[in-house]
Structure 1
Amino acid sequence: MNKFHGTGVAIVTPFNADGTVDYNGLKKLINHLIEGKVEYLVSLGTTGEASTLNNTEKKRIWEFTAEINNGRLPLVAGIGGNDTAEIANSIKNFEVNGYDAILSASPYYNKPTQEGIYQHYKALSESSALPLFLYNVPGRTASNVSAETTCRLATDFKNIIGTKEASGNFDQFNQIMRDKPADFMLISGDDPVAMPMISIGAVGVISVIGNALPLQLSEMIRLCLAGNYAAALPKHLNLIEFTRMMFAEGNPAGVKAALKHLDICDDHVRLPLVKVTDGLRQAIVAETNRITA
């Protein structure tokens, strides 16, 4: 199986009460995910609160993650932004050993045209020594990477090997599956739709809830990839309420509340994010207990 088939987890960045990075918590989390049998790890995606980390912190987190992982799982580095030249330079100068690919979200706020998105990823492709994953998340970027642009990039640049699709648009997923090169990977960027996406040909998920429940999620995803949907369905349904809670007051505040309850790391986030309210926290604790009992 391809090393990026299955469950990837977009790792949270644990923080101490004073806002500094909690490296002990990060170590516990990485080991928790590996023991939970996920297939690969994504460091400093949206869930990792990368937008509130400076360049020194990012480099140290990437290095530390590679050190603790120690070659046990494939690693993907999240490097994205809305300044093409800056991101291309960051990718060109990415020197952290132990990483297998880069995940880069489509530019946010600028609202580029499809040609602008194509030229952006063309520049990243030409700057990268590692394979690249596109990341389409219109709810955050305010622009959609169309199926046509995705497949154009997949065809024109062999080091663009897949896309994390979080548009929620199954018409778009269908078009990508129909028109993409055979070896180009469609990956779910949303936990709730990973199962139906796999049913049309997606190769897995890059998950948020997998931070807290890696074993439960990765088992379900592997059953889907094996075509055993009858066995996967009850496991999928069992995670629905937990998944809803994870996003009820924003990501990663929800999953950090679950991780605190599991004694893996604390639930501190950096402003402008805030912790979940006490009522939601109590509901998350109860649901986590139910699933892990």
Structure 2
Amino acid sequence: MDTDTTPTIPTTTTDLPGGLWSLGDRSLTRFGYGAMQLAGPFVMGPPKDHDAAIAVLRAAVESGITHIDTSESYGPKIVNELIREALHPYAPDLVIATKVGGRRDARGGWPTARKPDELRRQIDDNLETLGLEHLDLVHLRMGDATGPAPEPVEEAFATLVDLQRQGLIRHLGLSNATAEQVAEAQSIAPIVSVQNAYNLATRNDDELIDRLASEGVAYIPFFPLGGFSPLQAQALSAVAERVGSAPLPVALAWLLQRSPNILLIPGTSSVEHLRENIAGAATVLSEDDVRELDAIGTRP
């Protein structure tokens, strides 16, 4: 689709925290990169520093990361265009995951868009802005900006399955979904991943993570570093001080140790912060550390 002949940026190492995960027929690093923060304020418009955004994308790939998460709604279009500018033609081992099922309105809202024609248009838009012939991984985003909602999956998911059969999508997943919606989608076609809100402080999906792990399905937490109350933050800081790390990278290390099917996509617009996240996520937590951190989490 794109005739750009800029040299492909190779990965320089695969020695990243967590090692590798097999996602369908692809292998990718469990430590990935979420590109949402590359857009402007409220995930609208261009970044404040275009060159810095390009630099962090290239640094992510050069560090060995082979999993980048994005969405056409980031910007909108802006983040996909930055990824293409920074990384196209893409390294053969790079997996770019995107989301469909929502759009942006003129006021920066996140209305849903899951009718068949809306989904087909979003797939076409992703292909165009990323400069791809097919998409590696597409998550169908359910619910809305407030969180998951109990609603049928069948019509929207079947639309993506049809596009997969046409060769436009390689693998399918769900995002912002309930456990029931995940099971409904799996009754229609295989999925390789679920992307939901989950972190050390908010543990609603513990049972779902364990079930998916037993099935070989990846779980990708978004907002992996949010939602801490002052007391929870204090408890996290105590463990971080003991292991000689900053608090938030310790929360990433806990996620990697929580279950082997968890893939991380922490976002940042800073190369320095990206490197800090990678280093911190490599922290090895003892059983006592994990037990203490486990006590922070809230469950329904």
Same fold per superposition (TM over 0.5)? yes
Question: By how many angstroms is 1:162 displaced?
Answer: 0.2
What is the aligned counterpart of 1:84 among 87, 94, 114?
114
Question: By how many angstroms is 1:166 displaced?
Answer: 0.5
Aligned partner of residue 100 in structure 1, secondary structure: strand
Listed as ranges, the gaps of 5+ residues in structure 1 are: 137-144, 238-293
Aligned partner of residue 150 in structure 1, secondary structure: helix
Report what 2:261 is aligned to: 202
What is the aligned counterpart of 1:229 among 268, 285, 296?
285
Question: By how many angstroms is 1:84 displaced?
Answer: 1.2
2-structure distance, mates of 1:88, 1:112: 22
Matched-pair contact (CA < 8 Å) for 2:99–2:139: yes
Closer/same/farther in 2, CA of residues 131 and 77 from structure 1, 3 Å limit = same
| 1:13 to 2:43 alignment | no
Question: By how many angstroms is 1:26 displaced?
Answer: 2.9
Listed as ranges, the gaps of 5+ residues in structure 2 are: 1-19, 22-26, 103-111, 226-250, 294-300
Closer/same/farther in 2, CA of residues 34 and 60 from structure 1, 3 Å limit = closer
2-structure distance, mates of 1:177, 1:218: 25
Amino acid at match of 1:229: L
Question: By how many angstroms is 1:119 displaced?
Answer: 3.5
Amino acid at match of 2:194: T
Closer/same/farther in 2, CA of residues 126 and 195 from structure 1, 3 Å limit = farther
Length, aligned pairs only: 216
2-structure distance, mates of 1:172, 1:166: 8
Closer/same/farther in 2, CA of residues 5 and 210 from structure 1, 3 Å limit = farther
Deviations, residues 137-156 of structure 1 (Å, cap 9, x unaligned): xxxxxxxx221221332353
What is the aligned counterpart of 1:162 among 177, 182, 193?
193
Deviations, residues 121-171 of structure 1 (Å, cap 9, x unaligned): 3323332423123222xxxxxxxx22122133235322x210112055535
Report what 2:241 is aligned to: none
What is the aligned counterpart of 1:190 among 202, 215, 223?
223
1-structure distance, mates of 2:286, 2:141: 34
Matched-pair contact (CA < 8 Å) for 2:197–2:221: yes
How high is the sequence identity, in percent, across the aligned residues? Answer: 12
Closer/same/farther in 2, CA of residues 156 and 66 from structure 1, 3 Å limit = farther
What is the aligned counterpart of 2:57 among 13, 27, 30?
30
2-structure distance, mates of 1:155, 1:218: 36
2-structure distance, mates of 1:182, 1:208: 27
What TM-score, normalized to structure 1?
Answer: 0.57
1-structure distance, mates of 2:184, 2:92: 33
- Residue pairs, 1:39-58, within 5 angstroms: 39-44=66-71, 50-53=73-76, 57=78
Closer/same/farther in 2, CA of residues 176 and 203 from structure 1, 3 Å limit = closer
Amino acid at match of 1:38: I
Question: By how many angstroms is 1:185 displaced?
Answer: 0.8
Decide which structure has greater helix share. 1
Report what 1:100 is aligned to: 136
Between stretches 192-201 and 121-130, larger displacement belongs to: 192-201
Closer/same/farther in 2, CA of residues 188 and 52 from structure 1, 3 Å limit = closer
Matched-pair contact (CA < 8 Å) for 1:14–1:23: no
Closer/same/farther in 2, CA of residues 182 and 75 from structure 1, 3 Å limit = same
1-structure distance, mates of 2:183, 2:254: 21
Question: By how many angstroms is 1:113 displaced?
Answer: 5.4
Q: CA RMSD in A?
A: 4.1
Matched-pair contact (CA < 8 Å) for 1:79–1:90: yes
1-structure distance, mates of 2:203, 2:148: 23
Matched-pair contact (CA < 8 Å) for 1:165–1:188: yes
